[in-house]
Amino acid sequence: MRFVLAPVLAPVLALISAALAAGVIAQAAPAADKPDPAADAKAFRNYFVTKFPSVKLEDFVNGPYSMNEDMRKQWVEKEEFPPYDFALDAGKEMFAKPFKNGKTYADCFENGGIGVRQNFPYFDAQKGEVVTLELAINRCREANGEAPLSYVKDDMASLTAYMAYTSRGKPFDIKIPDDPRALAAYENGKRYFYTRRGQLNFSCASCHVQSPGQRLRAEILAPALGILNAMPIYRSEWAGMGTISRRFITCNSQTRAVPEEAQSEDYRDLEYYLSYVSNGLPISGPGARP
Amino acid sequence: MASTIRVRAIANGDTTEVQALIQHPMDSGFVKDAQGAVIPAHFIQQLTFEHNGKAVFTADWGPAVAKDPYVKFGFKGASKGDELKVSWVDNKGASDSTTAKIQ
Amino acid sequence: MSFSIEGFSATRRLVLQGAGAVALFGFGALAARPALAAANDTYPEAAFKQKADKDAIQALYGRTADASDKVKLDAPEIAENGAVVPISVTTTLENVTSISFFVSGNPNALAASYAIPEGTLPAVSNRLKMQQTSNVIAIVEAGGKLYSATKEVKVTVGGCGG
């Protein structure tokens, strides 16, 4: 049936070559095979390191600034006295302020919440779900009789900015326990990352795996390796701070895909996947971006 | 609430390098909000740095200065431990000032 | 004002190491200069209201500037975001009394003007807003004369901001 194959073959080949480019196909698990996150992470890192031989491994966390010299100069200048300074100081104050019941955020976290950001997200075996830092902060608030914060900016951004700052330089250390539910969450995050969606039919990988360093209209695209390490970020575009939740939502809207609710299962699993494959790269948050 | 002015003044030999970051919306008056109403102009007009009662740097700013403005300059004649006074006035007549020690 | 967290040596500045390191503008000695009135002892309202850069320069200084390679204007090729464009100027000229920045494509060209008293280095770094791709003009008033440097900075609509 060769005459039927031709129109079908091209898009299929495109899909396969895209998957190959993403270094995924070797690990694409047929239903019977067990996922191998460690092998994924290794392949993920190798892909970027090979594609950008002149970029130091730690530098990938600087997103577009690791990809373009003119932009890097502007970023270096901004980092002399960074725009996230105010949110950072506000976060420090907020973190120390006790809840109405007298307890503080420190009571909800290991090590008093200092220097722990690199352990998030983690898989909560009791609840059977991925817990991100943002989710943990609101759970802490609710457990202590306080109203939850909006996930996308303001106070949540200030608090996560402070907690990230206390972990600056520490490598991402995400764990995937040998629990089928954790593996399923990881695989769901990976599936989300590589699935095309929306009017523009982009997957996260379309930009951040296939095209880092290139322009999407006027923006220089960041590599997916280390892409969450600088969060939360002060974006000039937002003239303010935004969290991982904010960025997932706005990125979906901007690529004309339907955004999910902040901290949805897909978003948390996505954060789990992206953080895990960036294990070993240093936390650099809070960050500044265009 | 803390001052809106962050300043870092570092003496290196006889030259002091000063960097300041100020929390201020610097609204230009050209931008509309989500409802279509113009957000009124609200920006710092004058920023002054004083050492020993003398102005060592004065800025006249318009709305084209970026939000949360930053400025860097250097001057001679100060020493570590000296004080640097920084103050601003905006177009609404509001003001703030702070004093920093040169490191 | 410094900010430190006990037990942490995390540097505030990711890229630049060492708070003590001061890479200054490093050029010519500050010679004595005639006591010229600063270009703006009071706020130059009229100059800020001008649209065109030539009119704003005239309103601010009352004369025109000559291009000079002794004025070094540092601005990006493509602004990462028109809302925050880091721009700085240094000069080897002596007897500098004022430094100003104009953005030709802005609704009002004059962005900022700085008085440089004796003892202050003739160099400024700041962050400006640029509405669109246009020239940035730095004016240095030295020894009673005006010198300029011009650079075009491209400003794009953000791709992912669309």
pLDDT surpassing 50 at residue A217: yes
**With contact defined as beta carbons under 8 Å apart, do B52 and C114 qualify?**
no
Q: What CATH number corresponds to the domain at position C127?
A: 2.60.40.2470
Distance from CA of A81 to the nearest CA of B (A): 7
User: Poorest-confidence range of C66-80, C110-124, C146-160?
Assistant: C146-160
Tell me if C85 and A166 make a contact (CB, 8 A cut-off): no
User: Poorest-confidence range of A33-42, A170-179, A195-204?
Assistant: A33-42
Distance from CA of C107 to the nearest CA of B (A): 9
**With contact defined as beta carbons under 8 Å apart, do A171 and A280 qualify?**
yes
pLDDT the model gives residue C158: 55
Q: Which pTM does this prediction carry? A: 0.84
pLDDT the model gives residue C84: 92
Partners of residue B20 in chain A, C-beta under 8 Å: 81
Interface test with C, best of B68, B73, B82, B95 (most C CBs within 10 A): B73
Q: What CATH number corresponds to the domain at position B45?
A: 2.60.40.10
Least CA distance to C42: which residue of chain B? Answer: B60
Question: How would residue A11 be classed by pLDDT, with cut points 50, 70 and 90?
Answer: low
pLDDT surpassing 50 at residue C121: yes
Report yes or no on C122 lying in a domain: yes
* Nearest Cα to Cα of residue C56 among C119, C104, C20: C104
% pLDDT > 70, chain C = 71
Report yes or no on C56 lying in a domain: yes
The pair of structure tokens assigned to C66 is: 């000559």
pLDDT surpassing 80 at residue A6: no
Whose tokens are 């090729």? That residue is: C77
Query: How many domains is chain B built from?
Result: 1
Distance from CA of C69 to the nearest CA of B (A): 21
Domain hosting residue C132, numbered range: 45-153
Average pLDDT value for residue range A225-232: 97
Tell me if A239 and B67 make a contact (CB, 8 A cut-off): yes
Partners of residue B56 in chain C, C-beta under 8 Å: 117, 119-120
Report yes or no on C5 lying in a domain: no
Tell me if A80 and B23 make a contact (CB, 8 A cut-off): no
| Of C24, C88, C112, Cβ closest to residue B62 | C112
HSE (CB half, 13 Å, CA atoms) of B29?
A: 15
Average pLDDT value for residue range C6-31: 43
Per-residue pLDDT reduced to its tens digit, A60-89: 999 999 999 999 999 999 999 999 999 999
Question: How would residue A216 be classed by pLDDT, with cut points 50, 70 and 90?
Answer: confident
pLDDT the model gives residue C8: 40
Report yes or no on B32 lying in a domain: no
Q: What is the ipTM of this complex?
A: 0.95
Alpha carbons A144 and A138: distance in angstroms, whole number: 10
Report yes or no on B92 lying in a domain: yes
Average pLDDT value for residue range C63-77: 97
What CA–CA distances, in Å, run from B78 to B9, B10, B11, B56, B82? 10, 10, 8, 10, 7
Average pLDDT value for residue range A42-55: 97
Domain hosting residue B12, numbered range: 5-27+37-101
pLDDT surpassing 70 at residue C59: yes
- Return per-residue pLDDT of chain B as tens, 103 residues: 468 999 999 999 999 999 999 999 999 998 888 899 999 999 999 999 999 999 999 999 999 999 999 999 999 999 999 999 999 999 999 999 999 999 9
User: Which active-site residues of A does the annotation give?
Assistant: 251
pLDDT surpassing 60 at residue C115: yes
Partners of residue C126 in chain B, C-beta under 8 Å: 65-66, 69-72
Report yes or no on C18 lying in a domain: no
For residue C97, give the amino acid letter. Answer: T
Partners of residue A71 in chain C, C-beta under 8 Å: 76, 78, 80
Tell me if C5 and A114 make a contact (CB, 8 A cut-off): yes
Query: How many domains is chain C built from?
Result: 1
pLDDT surpassing 60 at residue C40: no
Interface test with C, best of B56, B58, B60 (most C CBs within 10 A): B60
Upstream peptide bond of A148 is cis (omega within 30 degrees of 0): no
Write down the CATH number for the domain with range A37-290. Answer: 1.10.760.10
Cβ count near A125 (within 10 Å): 11
pLDDT the model gives residue C34: 42
Average pLDDT value for residue range A96-111: 97
What are the residue boundaries of the structural domains of chain A, listed by start? 37-290
pLDDT surpassing 50 at residue A257: yes
Tell me if B58 and C114 make a contact (CB, 8 A cut-off): yes
Partners of residue C76 in chain A, C-beta under 8 Å: 70-71, 73-74
% pLDDT > 70, chain A = 89
